Structure 1
Amino acid sequence: MRTGWNGAGDAVRLEAVRKDYGNGVAALDGVSLAFGRGEFTAVMGPSGSGKSTFLHCAAGLDRPSAGTVTLDGQNLGELSEARLTKLRRDRVGFVFQAFNLLPALTVEQNVLLPHQLAGRRPDRGLVDQILRRVGLAERRRHLPGQLSGGQQQRVAIARALITDPAVVFADEPTGALDTRTAAEVLALLRESVQASGQTVIMVTHDPVAASYADRVVFLADGRIAGELPRPTADAVAERMTHLGAWAAVGA
């Protein structure tokens, strides 16, 4: 398990991260983990295992109660809210199950939104490239309501990639999609790792989705419960079935 790290080779590092919500139970309990640049990692665990809290802390959306999170070489605990917001805007991409597209904006306008919020002039050539990459060059003038669910998620991926982020965080990105469409979306995430060197960290409950990753990290009761390199869907499903007992032995 990559609980150690080598500095420049890692896009995200967590060291002894703990997150308490005041109810006497730690959502994260001493998590130390590293994510290499150009690596696709799936994070899995049963309900209540801490997956969402992990993603929020790793992405700088929430601050841990203890421990350190380093993202693209920056210690998030040392950043003001303004600098943290800028780091997320410039160096992090997000893809969610609900797509989170603005319904009154076209595909192209939704993709350009991060540039607009940052006050940057749009790079039309880059937009063209990204839209071709996600297979939506002919749909750039369409509104989200005119697209299928899979097409909307591809718009969300294009929006996440437009700033050339160091890390893309994906939270159940295929949860609302059928099997065939989900495979297309996962292939896009896989391609962003291979072609552009992005680090992708994906929270998922689906063993098939997890099989697209380079490795799977398992959480149980807020702790790391092991990992699986070069995963297959069957191996992931088997590990999830026995995760509770496996985690107890590991502890």
Structure 2
Amino acid sequence: MTTTGSPVRLDSVKKTYGRGESGVVALAGVSVEFPAGSFTAVMGPSGSGKSTLLHCAAGLDRPDTGSVTLVGTDLKGRTETQLTELRREHVAFVFQSFNLMPALNVEENITLPMLLAGKEPDRAWIAQVVERVGLSQRVRHRPGELSGGQQQRVAIARALAGRSAVTFADEPTGALDTSTALEVLGLLRELADAGQTIVMVTHDPVAASFADEVLFLVDGQIVTKMASPAVEMVAAELARLGARAKQARGRQ
């Protein structure tokens, strides 16, 4: 399967939760491509559709209309088993909740996705990754013996170790202290520079400044894009969109 071009593409994707008057439009016809080797931050007010965009792009949620292409595969009509296999082969996730197996140690958590995919872990590469995330002294520890920041670094190492085509990150630094957050963001930047496609939802202008481009969502639509984002520019745009949203609510 080829992963050249844009490994992630959404075409006119719409997603509504609920029905009738109580229905909430999460995505209102979003079309966007995430090229190979790019790092994109997705931002916007709460309820703007950021996580829904991520979940639809990863095949975790099915759009009502429109199409999603993930590493060359149209997700429409795929069974849950087929989607799981596709993700296992080509996709890594970094979520705020870490999603580590409590009975497994650090090294076992890092290699688990590869073993499930039937791949032989590259032990030399994994040792490098573990060292880069500062966990060399912790490989035999279980998640319950680690701090939140250390658990997040295990999740990042897991994403790095598999050399996946795409990494989806949902608020990956939300629970971390500043120095650990900057480490994690630096590693995500390295992943992109090494050819992975990174799509990250964040509220943090500092986190967004590590990306190549920021997409701003409001009411399920991409309203603006910002290339080479600087912290101050991102913060100013968020403030502008927040004020606009407040005005719109006031008119309702």
Normalising by structure 1, report the TM-score: 0.90
Please name the residue that 1:10 is paired with: 6
| Structure 2: runs of 5 or more not aligned | 248-252
- Tell me, yes or no, if structure 1 residue 20 matches structure 2 residue 19: no
Of 208, 223, 226, which aligns to 1:225? 223
What is the root-mean-square deviation of aligned Cα atoms in Å? 2.0
- Tell me, yes or no, if structure 1 residue 205 matches structure 2 residue 203: yes
Please name the residue that 1:4 is paired with: none
| Structure 1: runs of 5 or more not aligned | 1-6
- What is the CA-CA distance between 1:245 and the residue it aligns to? 6.2
In the alignment, the residues of structure 2 paired with residue 112 and residue 8 of structure 1 have an alpha-carbon distance, to the nearest angstrom, of 26
Please name the residue that 2:126 is paired with: 127
In the alignment, the residues of structure 1 paired with residue 11 and residue 151 of structure 2 have an alpha-carbon distance, to the nearest angstrom, of 35
- What is the CA-CA distance between 1:206 and the residue it aligns to? 0.7
- What is the CA-CA distance between 1:108 and the residue it aligns to? 0.2
In the alignment, the residues of structure 2 paired with residue 122 and residue 234 of structure 1 have an alpha-carbon distance, to the nearest angstrom, of 41
Runs of 4+ in 1 over 4 A off after TM superposition: 244-248
- What is the CA-CA distance between 1:235 and the residue it aligns to? 0.5
Normalising by structure 2, report the TM-score: 0.90
Of 195, 218, 238, which aligns to 1:240? 238
Does structure 2 retain, via aligned residues, the 8 Å contact 1:35–1:199?
Answer: yes
- What is the CA-CA distance between 1:211 and the residue it aligns to? 0.7
Please name the residue that 1:49 is paired with: 48
SS at match of 2:76: helix
Question: Cα gap change, 1:15/1:245 in structure 2, threshold over 3 Å: closer, same or farther?
Answer: farther
- What is the CA-CA distance between 1:132 and the residue it aligns to? 2.7
In the alignment, the residues of structure 2 paired with residue 163 and residue 68 of structure 1 have an alpha-carbon distance, to the nearest angstrom, of 27
Q: Which amino acid aligns with 2:24?
A: V
In the alignment, the residues of structure 1 paired with residue 24 and residue 151 of structure 2 have an alpha-carbon distance, to the nearest angstrom, of 37
In the alignment, the residues of structure 1 paired with residue 16 and residue 205 of structure 2 have an alpha-carbon distance, to the nearest angstrom, of 29
Q: Which amino acid aligns with 2:18?
A: G
In the alignment, the residues of structure 2 paired with residue 76 and residue 124 of structure 1 have an alpha-carbon distance, to the nearest angstrom, of 33
Does structure 2 retain, via aligned residues, the 8 Å contact 1:225–1:243?
Answer: no
Please name the residue that 2:250 is paired with: none
In the alignment, the residues of structure 2 paired with residue 119 and residue 229 of structure 1 have an alpha-carbon distance, to the nearest angstrom, of 38
Does structure 2 retain, via aligned residues, the 8 Å contact 1:225–1:246?
Answer: no
Q: Which amino acid aligns with 1:100?
A: N
- What is the CA-CA distance between 1:246 and the residue it aligns to? 6.3
Deviations 1:134-178 (A, max 9, x none): 232332112223323222111101112332211100000000011
SS at match of 1:32: strand
